[in-house]
Structure 1
Amino acid sequence: MPRISKLYDSFKNGYVVAVLTVLLAFLAVAALVYKPLTMPSTTPVVQSHDISEVTRLASLDRKNLDYLLIAEPLSDFPRYVLKYKGADEIRVVKVPSSTHANLEREVLLKHGIPYAIAQPQYLAKHPGVLDDKEAQRSALAELASFLARNAIGIALLAFLVIGLRKGLPGLTGGASVIKPENLKGSMDDLVGMEDIKSEVAHLEEMIRNRDIYRSHNIDKPFNVMLTGPAGTGKTKLAGYLAKKLDIPLIQTSGSSLESGFVGGGSKALTAIYKKACAQGRCIIFLDEAQSLFMPRGRGDKKWDDDTANTLLGLLDGVKSDEGSGVIWVVASNFDDNNMQMDEAMLRRFSVKINFRLPNRAERRELLNVFLSRKDPACIDWSRLNLDYVADITANLSPALLETVVDRASMIAIQEKSLITTDVLFRAFERASIGMTDRATTAEKEKERERVARHELGHFFMQIDPLLRQGLSWEEVKARSNLLKISTESVSKIGALGYVLSSANDVSLRTLEEMEQDVIQLYGGVAAEELFYGPRGISTGSQNDIQKVTGMLDLMVNRLSMYSRSKLDYSQLKAEASPEEALREVEAKADELYSRTLEAMKEYTGLISALTGILMERYVLSKDEVFELLAQMVELPRKAA
């Protein structure tokens, strides 16, 4: 053991590296000075670039060919060396490397023409083979040739040398230690999120007052799990916490532990832990760690769970005081509600903080914060309605809201204008839908007419329940979540038109609301059937029908909304269940589509009138749509 330790220390101190470097230099010099002890031949060499000399080999009598060699096949210009029996000369054809690959495959290999690689001894004996009005190879060229012939061995040797000094990938922790003074931001940067801030304040209090918790016999490490949608600030929070506690942070990700080496992830985790222990008090932040939380024992290889098993042990801490100051903080976009997780792993985390998307008031404040960081001269505050922008950006994370604000800046710079509500709206549209293109459908009048009717069908099925209540157009407009109707194409979603609507913060939906969602989705295909007949329905309804299928499967099979037996039929394995469930889904789809068709018949006149205007303008905003409707019909219907 002392001898092994001494050998490792010699590697660590660089002695072996120095020896290997000298060895490599010696081999390089040897390659330079080495000259074959063969006298040059007097056989004349004829250089050529005529590739047909090689292609003719496929039809010539090969008995006349003395030999065929390829010189420098790995160079940019390999040379074909041809010697015919009875000939007094050697023919050399110089070809590009790409042509060489084709010639070798299509002529030599395909027709079974024997050939070999020209060896250094042959090239030394016939120097004219490589002499095409260029100087003989210099010492540098000799070295390059040597390195090319031994590239794999040299690369492997260099890899091992570097690995012994700095660690092979996956065998050591590559994460660096970030000092608290180098961490940016603070807890105040988390706009709103008071519930999350309260949890973090409680966590900070637990860490600072460990003695109080020990008096309650709570001496486990305060391992922390952060879960929630992407872009909600989990990564930033880990840095804020380390800065507030004035302790260093070591950050890595779950994917960086997947080294490809058996045991690589385990060794990396252990190395990171030792690095943290050396700091005394330290936070280890493991981002995107969901792969480590999957249930163990699913793989057929015994080492599949090595990394997770190692993490389990490290989360418990060590028996000595070595790791008492180490806090593990892991982040994942998934939690145990939407992904099956290992129970043993979940028990290791005494603190779980679940992030959420910001509500309307928080979105407004976030938008105000992001805009306030810009030069005041870039924003027209008099034409900026943050309440409206907060309404239309429901379900966006803080990161996406910042993207919308940055996109608004790009639009303002491009148009040499100020940031206004309209600019922010277009930025939101660009971030959520993508780029729109008017030229794609400009010359396709029939297609645009169909798209216009399709999208108007969606819109009228959206407001149909409000109109059946006998509301005025003003009241319907106030309660409608429509933003715009467009016949511009969107490459991101593969559509030739769209209805842009704002979402709702509350995700709970009743049976009646879900049925209305299905009817709204059916509105497009129902409008096409009314105007073009059952055989005139286009493929533009594919995305709508896919969404309807998923919703009906949820309503019928997973939530049992139409059955007194409240069961999740998707979990049952009975043979009769799939067929029975399919029949019920088909029956409900037929019922809701029939309701859509009946409701749509009352709007065919309005759809025809608006189609022409939409064809002319390409886009109608919410204000424009309801202004036109108010001019056409004062009260579209009475309460049903």
Structure 2
Amino acid sequence: MPTFYKLQLALKNTYVRLMLGVLAALGIGLATYFGGDVEQVAIPLVRSQNIAEITALAGQRARLEYLLVAKPLSEAPRYIFKFKDAAQLHVVKVPSTSHLSLEREILLRNGIPYAIAKDDFLASHKAVLQDDADAGPVAASAAFLKRHAFDITVVALLLFALKFGIPGMGMSTTVITPDQLKGSMDDLIGMDDIKQEVLHLEDMIRHRSVYRSHNIDKPFNVMLTGPAGTGKTKLAGYLAKKLNLPLIQASGSALESGYIGGGSKALNALYRKACARGNCIIFLDEAQTLFMPRGRGEKKWEDDTANTLLGLLDGVKSDQGSGVIWVVASNFDDASSQMDEAMLRRFSVKINFRLPNKAERAELLRSFLGRKQEGCVAWDRLDLNQVADITANLSPALLESVVDRASMIAIQDKAVIDTDLMFRAFERSTIGLTDRATTAEKALQRERIALHELGHFFMQIDPYLRQGLSLAEVKEKSHLLKISTESVSKLNALGYVLSAGDDLSLRTLEEMERDVIQLYGGVAAEELFYGARGISVGSQNDIQKATAMLDMMVNRLSMYSRSKIDYSQFKQDGNGEHTLRQVEAKADELYSYTLGAIGDYKAVIASLKTELLERYVLSKDAIFALLEERMEIDMPGGFTALALAEAA
């Protein structure tokens, strides 16, 4: 039994005991009231256990009519006194240990007259010797509640939290009517494949009778998957507005309230709210945890929430939920993570979002920039195709953040948005803050960083130069944006090479080897200028990335073997040693090539290093301009000689 469940039982038992105590107090009071002798002298009593009332009598002697002490030898003597100007009879119950001190220090020392209460007085005033429980049902109950008010309040709050959840910490839902929803399907720029799926879904919902003729009568539940920031949440709103249906929005992460069965209760409450509205859409965002396979844990209640959702998605509880459409969004799909098969079958429509391509990125950027007032964007100096090139693999949400960053920079610099400013915004959004002061006084480190980053650059363009391409053609193919010797606190780096992304994800063996060679370019440049013992720890990140790529090429893709198998699935030590030797051999081969190739650029690297140290940053245009000026000076025969040597 879980600890929290034990706590629930303990709290319930405590609550039962307190309620029994209240009933007992009422029972005693009723028994006394109806079965005992009625008090013969009806004088209003004021009961207390406050000893201070006795000590205060020293200053109230003139008002005192009489003072009696009842049962002075008992465990709880009573001090009974009455004032001349009041009708109440005061009864103060004191411990026997305090009575002796009060009698000596207060009554005798201050000369306060008192007497022992006689039996006839006690017989006519029976109430003075009764406790609160014997004083009648109302008084007994009031006294009990007064003594245990804090305990009862705490238990009541705990039981309320167990049943209904703590206010503000339960599942938060928002009901949005169609007139409150903003935007339309036209705001989903590009994504024609996704729009077609939505139009198909709309047709299914509007013409259910047609689908019933094909014996399709289940609810059209919808699953939206894909990377974050691609528009899944917006699409749910667009769909609700297009169908003119209210949208009930909730978060999957808020389902669990912290106690057993909380998720099921929250889902059922959400379902009841939807059924009360008739036709509507329930949008459950960030619900990937509900799609994990059930039965993974040993505790049977861990799958309660998912089981409840399965039943609700089928609409089997009643016919009243036939108009409810479930739209569930997740950043993961069944291709990237394991999901419960039964849950996946509940969704007749699955729409997978993707990242925008280059043309769609350009249109998204145009749309975001077009919302700004006239004069904020210099359209004649803005090349959206270039900006789309450098923003590969960015989601629409990240593209919008780049545009917002560009606006902030434009406001600070009192400038307008153009291509250069968009590049700066992209760099600021992806790289972060850069700082020259950190490296300004570190001449030797800056020199090493400059050589390291230039090594990366030259090994990036090396294949094109050896093919005999002109510098203009090489510049066109190069993804370089800039080389910098400024520090980046976000990356914990003292320099960096900023390159544009690439939409292609299906890389070949040749392309992956080029990536490894480019990564080795930095450490090879350091060895070229400082020797094998002069390599710094700044190459650690490059070596880690190169190792991961080589591991994938050798172990997972088996690119260097005729046997196309995934060696990583074999756990035998023999296979591990075999593939490790293959990785080492290929790493040695590629690094040896890198070291030999970068030696051809030693003179031009040394020349560009001086410019980079002076300017801190060299843009792509500046680097290729310098290469155009110095290729004949630093490399006799120019870069064409490399191609001739390679061909030979």
Letter in 1 for 2:192: E
1:592 Cα deviation from its structure 2 partner:
1.1
1:637 aligns with 2:640: yes
Q: Which of 567, 570, 577 in structure 2 is aligned with 1:569?
A: 567
1:193 Cα deviation from its structure 2 partner:
0.8
Q: Structure 1 residues 171 and 454, CA, compared in 2 at 3 Å: closer, same or farther? A: closer
Partner of 1:617: 615
Partner of 1:208: 206
Letter in 2 for 1:443: E
Partner of 2:218: 220
Q: Do the aligned partners of 1:451 and 1:497 also contact (CA within 8 Å) in 2?
A: yes
Q: Do the aligned partners of 1:170 and 1:259 also contact (CA within 8 Å) in 2?
A: no
Partner of 1:536: 534
After superposition, the C-alpha distances for 1:525-582 in whole angstroms (9 at most, x for unaligned) are 1111111112211111111111112111111111111111111222223342222222
Partner of 1:508: 506
1:169 Cα deviation from its structure 2 partner:
6.3
After superposition, the C-alpha distances for 1:42-96 in whole angstroms (9 at most, x for unaligned) are xxxxxxxxxxxxxxxxxxxxxxxxxxxxxxxxxxxxxxxxxxxxxxxxxxxxxxx
Q: Which of 411, 416, 419 in structure 1 is aligned with 2:417?
A: 419
Letter in 1 for 2:52: L
Q: Structure 1 residues 508 and 152, CA, compared in 2 at 3 Å: closer, same or farther? A: farther
After superposition, the C-alpha distances for 1:438-481 in whole angstroms (9 at most, x for unaligned) are 11101101000000000000000000000010011111111111
Which SS does the other structure have where 1:305 is aligned? helix
Residue pairs, 1:262-411, within 5 angstroms: 262-318=260-316, 320-411=318-409
1:546 aligns with 2:544: yes
Letter in 1 for 2:245: I
Which SS does the other structure have where 2:429 is aligned? helix
1:481 aligns with 2:479: yes
Q: Do the aligned partners of 1:173 and 1:267 also contact (CA within 8 Å) in 2?
A: no
The 1-side partners of 2:529 and 2:626 are apart by: 21
Q: Structure 1 residues 172 and 216, CA, compared in 2 at 3 Å: closer, same or farther? A: farther
1:430 aligns with 2:428: yes
Which SS does the other structure have where 2:320 is aligned? coil
Letter in 2 for 1:392: I
Which SS does the other structure have where 1:363 is aligned? helix
1:625 Cα deviation from its structure 2 partner:
0.1
After superposition, the C-alpha distances for 1:379-429 in whole angstroms (9 at most, x for unaligned) are 222211111111111111100010000000000111111111111110000
Partner of 2:522: 524
The 1-side partners of 2:232 and 2:217 are apart by: 26
The 1-side partners of 2:217 and 2:204 are apart by: 11
Partner of 1:439: 437
Report which stretch shifted further, 251-260 or 603-612. Answer: 251-260
Q: Which of 603, 606, 621 in structure 2 is aligned with 1:605?
A: 603
Partner of 2:172: 174
The 2-side partners of 1:197 and 1:430 are apart by: 33
The 1-side partners of 2:536 and 2:542 are apart by: 12
The 1-side partners of 2:592 and 2:49 are apart by: 90
Residue pairs, 1:74-113, within 5 angstroms: none
The 1-side partners of 2:150 and 2:394 are apart by: 52
Which SS does the other structure have where 1:503 is aligned? coil
Partner of 2:52: 37
Q: Which has the larger radius of gyration?
A: 2
Q: Structure 1 residues 209 and 576, CA, compared in 2 at 3 Å: closer, same or farther? A: same
The 1-side partners of 2:51 and 2:333 are apart by: 70
Q: Do the aligned partners of 1:438 and 1:488 also contact (CA within 8 Å) in 2?
A: yes
Partner of 1:469: 467
Partner of 1:628: 626
1:376 Cα deviation from its structure 2 partner:
1.0
Q: Structure 1 residues 36 and 585, CA, compared in 2 at 3 Å: closer, same or farther? A: farther
Letter in 2 for 1:298: R
Q: Structure 1 residues 155 and 407, CA, compared in 2 at 3 Å: closer, same or farther? A: farther
1:161 Cα deviation from its structure 2 partner:
5.1
Q: Structure 1 residues 163 and 629, CA, compared in 2 at 3 Å: closer, same or farther? A: same
Partner of 2:253: 255
Aligned residues: 503
The 1-side partners of 2:155 and 2:374 are apart by: 58
1:258 Cα deviation from its structure 2 partner:
2.6
Residue pairs, 1:449-460, within 5 angstroms: 449-460=447-458
The 2-side partners of 1:280 and 1:173 are apart by: 21
Residue pairs, 1:72-151, within 5 angstroms: none
The 1-side partners of 2:361 and 2:316 are apart by: 43
Q: Structure 1 residues 302 and 466, CA, compared in 2 at 3 Å: closer, same or farther? A: same
After superposition, the C-alpha distances for 1:250-299 in whole angstroms (9 at most, x for unaligned) are 11122111322111111111111111111111111111111111111111
Q: Structure 1 residues 151 and 480, CA, compared in 2 at 3 Å: closer, same or farther? A: farther
Partner of 2:135: none
The 2-side partners of 1:543 and 1:616 are apart by: 26
After superposition, the C-alpha distances for 1:147-174 in whole angstroms (9 at most, x for unaligned) are xx9989756644655776x654699753
Q: Do the aligned partners of 2:181 and 2:241 also contact (CA within 8 Å) in 1?
A: yes
The 2-side partners of 1:153 and 1:611 are apart by: 78
1:431 Cα deviation from its structure 2 partner:
0.7
Which SS does the other structure have where 1:378 is aligned? coil
Q: Which of 548, 558, 561 in structure 2 is aligned with 1:560?
A: 558
Q: Do the aligned partners of 1:172 and 1:271 also contact (CA within 8 Å) in 2?
A: no
Which SS does the other structure have where 2:518 is aligned? helix
The 2-side partners of 1:161 and 1:262 are apart by: 15
Q: Do the aligned partners of 2:171 and 2:257 also contact (CA within 8 Å) in 1?
A: no
1:176 Cα deviation from its structure 2 partner:
2.6
Q: Structure 1 residues 150 and 632, CA, compared in 2 at 3 Å: closer, same or farther? A: farther
After superposition, the C-alpha distances for 1:124-183 in whole angstroms (9 at most, x for unaligned) are xxxxxxxxxxxxxxxxxxxxxxxxx9989756644655776x654699753132111111
Which SS does the other structure have where 1:226 is aligned? strand
The 1-side partners of 2:396 and 2:625 are apart by: 34
Q: Structure 1 residues 577 and 377, CA, compared in 2 at 3 Å: closer, same or farther? A: same
1:184 aligns with 2:199: no
Report which stretch shifted further, 534-543 or 224-233. Answer: 534-543
- What is the RMSD computed on CA atoms of the aligned residues? 2.4
Letter in 2 for 1:255: S
Partner of 1:498: 496
The 2-side partners of 1:405 and 1:467 are apart by: 35
The 1-side partners of 2:639 and 2:170 are apart by: 72
1:307 Cα deviation from its structure 2 partner:
1.1
Give the structure-2-normalised TM-score.
0.74
Give the structure-1-normalised TM-score.
0.75
Which SS does the other structure have where 2:319 is aligned? coil
1:373 Cα deviation from its structure 2 partner:
0.6
1:503 Cα deviation from its structure 2 partner:
1.0
Partner of 2:238: 240
Structure 1, gaps ≥5 residues long: 1-15, 17-32, 42-148
The 2-side partners of 1:196 and 1:436 are apart by: 39
Q: Structure 1 residues 158 and 262, CA, compared in 2 at 3 Å: closer, same or farther? A: closer
Q: Structure 1 residues 315 and 289, CA, compared in 2 at 3 Å: closer, same or farther? A: same
